[in-house]
Amino acid sequence: MSAEAAVKIVTETPLEEIERVKDWINTEEYKEKNFAREALVVNPAHACQPLGAQMVATAFEGCLPFVHGSQGCASYFRSTFSRHFREPAAATCDAMTEDGAVFGGQNNLFEGLENAYALYKPKMLAIYTTCMPEVIGDDLTAFIKNARLKGHVPEDLPIPYANTPSFNGTHIHGYDAMLKSILETLTAGQKIDGKCTGKLNLIPGFDGNTANIREYKRILELFGIPHTVLADISDVFDSPCDGHYRLYPGGTKLEDAAESINGKVTLALQKYSTVNTMKWIEDEYSGEKVVMPMPFGIQKTDEFLMKLAELFGKPVPEELKAERGRAVDAMTDAHQYLHGKKFAVAGDPDYLLGIVSFLLEMGAIPYHVLCSRSTKKFEKEMKALLASSPFGATGKVYINKDLWHLRSLLMTDPVDGIIGDTHAKWAARDANIPLFRIGFPIIDRVNLHRSPVIGYQGAVNMLTMIANKFLDIKDETCENQWFEMMR
Amino acid sequence: MYQGDDRHERAPIPGITKERTEKLIAETLAEMPEKARNKRAPHLGANEPTATCCAVKSNRKVVPGVMSQRGCAYAGAKGVVWGPIRDMVHISHGPIGCGVYSWGTRRNLMQGIPGVTSFPMDFTSDFQEKDIVYGGDKKLEKLLNEANELFPLAKGFSVLSECPVGLIGDDINAVAKKMEEQLEKLVVPCNCEGFRGVSQSLGHHISNDSIRDHIIGKFEFPDPVGPYDVALIGDYNIGGDVWAAKPILEEIGLNVKSVWTGDGEVEKIGATHQVKLNLIHCYRSMNYMCKVMEEKWGIPWLEYNFFGPTKIAESLRAIAGRFDESIQEKAEAVIAKYQPMMQAVLDEYKPRLNGKTAMLFVGGLRPRHTIGAYEDLGIQITGAGYEFAHQDDYDRTSPEMANGTLIYDDVSEFELEKFVEELKPDLVGSGIKEKYVFQKAGIPFRQMHSWDYSGPYHGYEGFKIFARDIDMAINSPTWKLVKSPF
């Protein structure tokens, strides 16, 4: 339509045309066209780097997350966390605008640091970037050095920073970059040869479930293993309502993080969100370094506990043995409700590996496994996991495909349920199957982040949620003659 | 055209004086570094309802580091203006984040079949490093072809730039022009990069300009123009607001030809230059196009307010005043018809809410527009401010507030916390980022951008829900549990 084009009459799309397209988008033909997409992304299941960076920054005690770049980004990250956790999510920014784009963001950073320090009195300011300063090439190293020289912030205030361009990687990579920078900053000069704190450094990775972190800590306490969680969101994003708002409600203590370099063991429970951090730790930290999958389900929890036992020379506590037995009891009792059920699973790589592992244990079938941004390496690892069980034989892995691709898969090759974050609810509705909300973000249900999905307890929680939902559906949808007292 | 407020000045609120408010502002500012203090001071003030213009400054840059609640131009464009248009595919052009964060997070509900006739989804070009280096124009072209093939019933496409697009020198306008000819469908470029301007507000303005340049006047309604044809401007159908407001206008005999942009249809928006009167609810985000239509097509416009029975009645009379006696009679009949229903709402909730106070901090309209609804319930507003309002918004706010009440523009978390701590309102009405800060402190809160996952709040049906929600928030027994006995 050029400017000179004739005026058009407002039209209504004919009903038969709507019906045709409505049916067409569910077809194999549409699926092929959909999968042939090269440029357009529709309904992705991942976010951008600085979001992950903010999660880490929030998780250290007294640390104020600080966004270098556009103010809108900071508001989006804060809103996302507040919607998911239903908690405050403090973060400030230096609000770069057009002049920042022309002259660079140094002046914004100076003023922002000075004001943030004066108003919010942080023990640490963790800076991460949005697209804007990354595109114009701001030099954060120099800017921060200059800020100290000019007295905008005290000499001794720790200011870790990470470059987190949104046009590269996802939120899990921003998590990695920020965690590495914070640990580099806090541990500088802290390494003492021959010193061992005897502690375990546990790195949970990008996890929107505060109860998972509490569960890790509970398990370590049962073992009697002294530990530091790097980084601990549990008290930050699950803080009490007692009449006082706390800007800094908890998190990993800076001194604990500082001495983590002299720890006995550093254990990362997510591989893909900690690649660079663990690479750096491998070279710099004392003690053993271990990377394990998240302890989803029985076997991966077993491996986790046995590794702890081995590393610290302590037996698996009786309480955890009993807990295992109870979880297995729950799983054998309820196996019939999940056995053979087909699932689509979407999410971050480490979560996906855990969820698939749990499904395989239950005799359920992880059928469409989708990660909307990942690597061949992950694809290979997931395929190997599927190949490890007869229940994984029919499972297919889709990397760099989005939830609109998933919709096509669901319509042409149906499954019984989806496991993923809230964003998958549209696909679930179209396919008329339940969505089991495990992942991040969950912005349409309450309190799921307060219920662990890792460990033996997590296995029971997932099983309960999934089995009972299938039973609810049966009760709600069956005809009268099939409605019965027991299930 | 602004009608002004014909209500007499508010009675003073017990405990609220100009002196106390000014002292509170001074104490709060005292804790800031000098430069920030000087920048922030003009944005805070004690209200003088009779002053010719409101004392606070607005629409200035965020002070770096103070934890403003503001969003960006992209948020104003995608989230506010474009997102609600249901039959277009809205492309978040740039990296992945912006589209994800703004996907389904504004509650602009829409009819239609998702992915077929409506598109409440996230479409993005998901820029990678190579797109930054080599530019994204080719990708955009390809993407538009793909979108057109996969979503054939979309009536058009909006291309909403994210920060990098404007920085790397892409020309989305040229791509849009070319693709509009090729696809024979609207392709509307909107240069709403997040770094532009000082808040969401510029995004609204840029989007209005895009509508002016690319949509309005390109369509005509199939039926002949009638004397009662109006458009509903600046209602985004949050929680179903349009569906509660439009029937009232139809009931008084008006013919609502298009809605901007809640549950909106782009071709009808493009034919709006044919209506007789534009009725604008959110002045801040859509006054630009009302003025354009007034200048170019001579269409008058009228601000109205559908929050609470008092303002609804006032607005219906003002709207009907622009038409003949038949409309005026129907307006009176409608007001009379709903009066008992409204009285029943007041009878139920007002006894529990009368004498309570509230503080508001919302976008660019609601602080002033909802005051009447709170007052209908007996709640007085002790403080109000906007994220992204301009001078004309504050001028419209001053007369709605009692003398000495607190006015705050682009208030930071630090300031609002201090203000609430001192004024101890029974309710704070603001956004998701503020919500839990105050709830932790034991202060009842309602999200007033999203209606806190409830709504509608517009119209008579909306007021029933509003009253229930405000009562529920303030009188929930859960607040009594906050203080532990030990």
Q: Which of B126, B133, B255 to mutate to test the interface with A (most CBs of A within 10 A)?
A: B126
pLDDT at A5 over 70: no
- Residue A41: what pLDDT? 98
Helix axes B325-353, B241-251, angle to 10 degrees: 140
> What is the bridge-based pairing of β-strands B123-124 and B357-362?
unpaired
The sheet with strand A396-399 has its strands ordered as A396-399, A365-371, A342-346, A417-420, A435-437
Give residues 384 to 403 of A whose Cβ lies within 8 Å of B. Answer: none
- Residue B481: what pLDDT? 97
| Cβ burial A176-215 (10 Å sphere, 16+ → b, else e) | bbbbbbbbbbbbeeeeeeeeebebbbbbbbbbbbbbbbbb
How many angstroms separate the Cα of A260 from the Cα of each of A199, A218, A249, A291?
8, 19, 21, 16
- Residue B2: what pLDDT? 43
Using a CB-CB distance cutoff of 8 angstroms, which residues of chain A are in contact with residue B149? 33
Q: Are A398 and A370 in contact (CB under 8 A)?
A: yes
Q: Whole-angstrom distance between the N-terminal and C-terminal Cα of chain A?
A: 61
The strand ranges marked E within A140-264 are: 161-162, 200-203, 227-229
How many angstroms separate the Cα of B484 from the Cα of each of A240, A350, B110, B181, B481?
11, 40, 44, 67, 7
- Residue A2: what pLDDT? 46
- Residue B465: what pLDDT? 98
B195–A112: do the CB atoms touch at under 8 Å?
no
> What is the bridge-based pairing of β-strands A63-68 and B427-430?
unpaired
- Any B CB within 8 A of A425 CB: no
Q: Which of A15, A94, A167, A411 to mutate to test the interface with B (most CBs of B within 10 A)?
A: A167
- Per-residue pLDDT reduced to its tens digit, A201-235: 999 999 999 999 999 999 999 999 999 999 999 99
Active-site residue, from A67, A73, A131, A369: A131
Residues of chain B with confidence (pLDDT) below 50: 1-5
Q: How far is CA A158 from the centre of its chain?
A: 26
When pLDDT is averaged across residues A380-406 and rounded to a whole number, the result is 98
- Any B CB within 8 A of A424 CB: no
A467: distance to nearest CA of chain B, Å? Answer: 28
Q: Assess whether the previous peptide bond of B456 is cis (omega < 30° from 0).
A: yes
Which residues of B are annotated as catalytic? 72, 75, 106, 204
The strand ranges marked E within A395-447 are: 396-399, 417-420, 435-437
Q: Are A457 and A467 in contact (CB under 8 A)?
A: no
**In the structure encoding, which two tokens stand for residue A82, read together?**
């507040």
B100–A48: do the CB atoms touch at under 8 Å?
yes
Using a CB-CB distance cutoff of 8 angstroms, which residues of chain A are in contact with residue B180? 1-2
- Any B CB within 8 A of A108 CB: yes
Reply yes or no on whether A135 is catalytic. Answer: yes
Give percent of chain B with pLDDT exceeding 90.
97
Q: Are B183 and A4 in contact (CB under 8 A)?
A: no
B131–A167: do the CB atoms touch at under 8 Å?
yes
- Residue B3: what pLDDT? 47
> What is the bridge-based pairing of β-strands A435-437 and A417-420?
parallel
- Per-residue pLDDT reduced to its tens digit, B71-115: 999 999 999 999 999 999 999 999 999 999 999 999 999 999 999
**In the structure encoding, which two tokens stand for residue B417, read together?**
């916390």
SS (H, E, C) B393-424: HHHHHHHHCCCCCEEEECCCHHHHHHHHHHHC
Using a CB-CB distance cutoff of 8 angstroms, which residues of chain A are in contact with residue B430? none
How many angstroms separate the Cα of A98 from the Cα of each of A133, A453, B67?
11, 45, 19
- Any B CB within 8 A of A79 CB: yes
Q: Are B194 and A72 in contact (CB under 8 A)?
A: yes
Within 13 Å of residue B28, how many CA atoms lie on the same side as its CB?
27
- CA-based nearest residue to B401, from B24, B45, B31: B45
As a whole number of angstroms, the distance between CA B440 and CA B95 comes to 35
Q: Are B101 and A80 in contact (CB under 8 A)?
A: yes
Q: Are B379 and B352 in contact (CB under 8 A)?
A: no
- Per-residue pLDDT reduced to its tens digit, A317-368: 999 999 999 999 999 999 999 999 999 999 999 999 999 999 999 999 999 9
Quickly tell me which residue has 């301007």 as its tokens: B197
Number of A–B residue contacts, CB under 8 Å: 295
SS (H, E, C) chain B: CCCCCCCCCCCCCCCCCHHHHHHHHHHHHHCCCHHHHHHHHHHEEECCCCCCCCCCCCCCCCCCCCCCCCCCHHHHHHHHHHCCECCEEEEEECCHHHHHHCCCCCCECCCCCECCCECCCCEECCCCHHHHHHCCHHHHHHHHHHHHHHCCCCCEEEEEECHHHHHCCCCHHHHHHHHHHHHCCEEEEECCCCCCCCCHHHHHHHHHHHHHHHCCCCEECCCCCCCCEEEEEEECCECCHHHHHHHHHHHCCCEEEEEEECCECHHHHHCHHHCCEEEECCHHHHHHHHHHHHHHHCCCEEECCCCCHHHHHHHHHHHHCCCCHHHHHHHHHHHHHHHHHHHHHHHHHHHHHCCCEEEEEECCCHHHHCHHHHHHCCCEEEEEEECCCCHHHHHHHHHHCCCCCEEEECCCHHHHHHHHHHHCCCEEEECHHHHHHHHHCCCCEEECCCHHHCCCCCHHHHHHHHHHHHHHHHHCHHHHHCCCCC
B66–A116: do the CB atoms touch at under 8 Å?
yes
Burial classification of residue A32, based on how many CB atoms lie within 10 Å of its CB (0-12 exposed, 13-18 middle, 19 or more buried): exposed
How many helices and strands in chain A, by DSSP H and E? 19, 15
Return the SS3 of A112: helix
- Residue B1: what pLDDT? 40
As a whole number of angstroms, the distance between CA A378 and CA A398 comes to 10
Rounded to two decimals, what is the model's pTM? 0.98
As a whole number of angstroms, the distance between CA A10 and CA A8 comes to 7
pLDDT at A4 over 60: no
B219–A10: do the CB atoms touch at under 8 Å?
yes
Query: Which residues, in sequence order, are bridge partners of residue B380?
Result: B357
The sheet with strand A63-68 has its strands ordered as A92-93, A63-68, A124-129, A161-162
- Residue B50: what pLDDT? 85
**In the structure encoding, which two tokens stand for residue B114, read together?**
């998702």
- Residue B8: what pLDDT? 65
Using a CB-CB distance cutoff of 8 angstroms, which residues of chain B are in contact with residue A122? none
State which amino acid sits at residue A293.
P
Q: Are A109 and A94 in contact (CB under 8 A)?
A: yes
Residue of A nearest to B156 (CA): A1
Element (H, E) at A454: none
* A371 Cβ contact partners less than 8 Å away, ≥ 6 residues apart: A45, A346, A347, A348, A349, A352, A378, A382, A397, A398, A399, A400
When pLDDT is averaged across residues A33-38 and rounded to a whole number, the result is 98
